[in-house]
Structure 1
Amino acid sequence: MKKIETVQEFENLAESQPRFFFMKHSLTCPISGNAFNEYQSFLNKHGEEEGYYLAVQEAKELSNHIAEKFGIKHESPQAFLFIDGKPGWNASHWNITETELDKL
């Protein structure tokens, strides 16, 4: 799992990876901490999947860019599955679980 911090890094990722998971993670929220653990556990069990994240407190510009570009209201925590550069799935808060991610 790799941390993405800038709009340019994200745009390069979206152009180069046909499928990847992405999470907006809050460093101070216990719900986000739980979701991040679920996300990390999923990625650890599925080495074939690409996984990335941002820390909302450190990458507000990127977080806002994703919300505005794709018309998806910002939430934290929030997870996405990007397919061909566009969100094919997203969930927030307690809906980010290893079980839900396994379905994708």
Structure 2
Amino acid sequence: MGLLDKIFKGDGEETKDKSTFPWTDLTDKDQITIALEESKNKTVGIFKHSTSCGISKMVLRNFESQFEEDENTKLYFLDLKKHRDVSNAVAENLGVRHESPQFIILQNEEVVHHASHQDIDAAKLEELS
């Protein structure tokens, strides 16, 4: 397998088993309200991911490899292909223009940071937690 194959896997497979990473699937618009409520007590991150985009896959793998689990952090994973309506609601409710991939950090019911593409960095989440 060549370097580009490793970076841009075409089969949709991620490097870590999703069941072992602390993602909570964001599949319903009502979960946005729940995430905002949770952000009163812990830092909440929302990762918006396009399963058909090589760059998004690469950024997701980098984020997962950098992230160190913390009990004061809750992570949501939004599959844009399956839940575009939820992505639109996130943009509208949080006032953050849609991008993909995108990572949004919430604290005390407010967006305290958002980044897209290669600017997504797990260190920023750790810094804010």
Q: Same fold (TM over 0.5)?
A: yes
Amino acid in the other structure paired with 1:27: T
CA drift of 1:15 comes to 1.5
RMSD: 1.7
1:1-104 equivalences in 2 (<5 Å): 1-18=23-40, 19-43=43-67, 45-48=68-71, 49-104=73-128
Contact 1:23/1:80 (8 A) holds in 2? yes
Structure 2: segments with no counterpart, 5+ residues: 1-22
Q: Distance in 2 between matches of 1:56 and 1:25?
A: 6
Deviations 1:46-103 (A, max 9, x none): 3322111100011111100111122221000000110112210000001113344443
CA drift of 1:27 comes to 0.4
Count matched residues. Answer: 103
Structure 1: segments with no counterpart, 5+ residues: none
Give identity over the alignment, percent: 26
Q: Distance in 2 between matches of 1:14 and 1:42?
A: 24
Whichever of the two has the greater Rg, that structure is: 2
Once superposed, which parts of structure 1, at least 4 consecutive aligned residues long, lie more than 6 Å away?
A: none
Amino acid in the other structure paired with 2:79: A
Contact 1:24/1:53 (8 A) holds in 2? yes
SS in structure 1 of the partner of residue 76 of structure 2: strand
TM-score, normalized by length of structure 2?
Answer: 0.71
TM-score, normalized by length of structure 1?
Answer: 0.85
